[in-house]
Amino acid sequence: MTDYPRLSRAVSHALRHEPWLYELELDEEGWTSVEDLLQALRQESTDWVNLEVTDLEGMLLSSPKRRHELRGDRIRAFYGHSVPARIVKAQESPPQKLFHGTSRESFEAIQSEGLRPMRRQYVHLSEDVEMAKQVGHRKDTEPVVLLIDSAAAHGEHISFYQGGEKVWLADSVPAKYVSVLSAWKD
């Protein structure tokens, strides 16, 4: 039986962080050949010498978060943080409200500058408060959960993109569309 969480971490490492270590060639949108990825992973670990496409499909189906996408004989990291070229997403109308979890330290800059992607390609936003809390908690023991008036921002030509099942992306979100929902404490 394949250890899907472990496989997902390895695939993310290969597609998002250090593709050169796996001798993978990513195109401008982060895609690579499934067969090339399988070959690289088979060489990476003796646990994966028999790794097949069905294992990747199982990994995708079992993951609580959509981190990778598989199309035909190609695969990519869904967010592609380390791909030099920007991953192109189609603009979509977002839900009325979205959420973002952050640290208390980052909140000060967000109040004046709004949400910016920092070292990522996009600002990541959540459809629900719980996910925003989880993300914020990775950055601070007492994170701040922000409410994004995405409908108003979209009405003012701020671009939003569907990033996953519960994740939305934006190029940036000006401060006037961001307010504090709560400061979360354990």
Q: Helices (DSSP H) in 28-121: which residue ranges?
A: 34-44, 53-62, 104-113
Percentage above 70 pLDDT, the chain? 90
CATH for 4-77 is 1.10.10.970
Domain coordinates in residue numbering, the chain: 4-77, 98-183
What number of other Cβ atoms are within 10 A of residue 166's Cβ?
16
Instruction: With a cut of 50, say whether residue 186 has pLDDT above it.
Output: no
Average pLDDT rounded to a whole number, residues 81-93: 72
Instruction: With a cut of 60, say whether residue 32 has pLDDT above it.
Output: yes
User: Considering the chain, what is the average pLDDT of its residues?
Assistant: 87
- The CATH classification of domain 98-183, taken from the options 2.60.120.10, 3.20.170.30, 3.90.650.10, 1.20.1630.10: 3.20.170.30
**Dihedral over alpha carbons 114, 181, 136, 177 (to 10 degrees):** -20
3-state SS track over 128-149: CHHHHHHHHHHHCCCCEEEEEC
Nearest CA among 15, 132, 13, 2 for reference residue 61: 2
Residue 7: its H or E element = helix 4-12
The whole-number pLDDT of residue 153 equals 97
The whole-number pLDDT of residue 112 equals 94
The whole-number pLDDT of residue 80 equals 62
φ, ψ at 141 (rounded to 5°): -70, -20
Write out pLDDT tens, residues 92-150: 999 999 999 999 999 989 999 999 988 677 888 999 999 888 888 878 889 999 999 99
How sure is the predictor about 157, in pLDDT bands with cuts at 50, 70 and 90? very high
Residue 155, token pair as written in the block: 């009405």
Residue type at 76 in one-letter notation: R
Between 12-16, 110-114, 179-183, the lowest mean confidence (pLDDT) is in 179-183
Instruction: With a cut of 90, say whether residue 22 has pLDDT above it.
Output: no
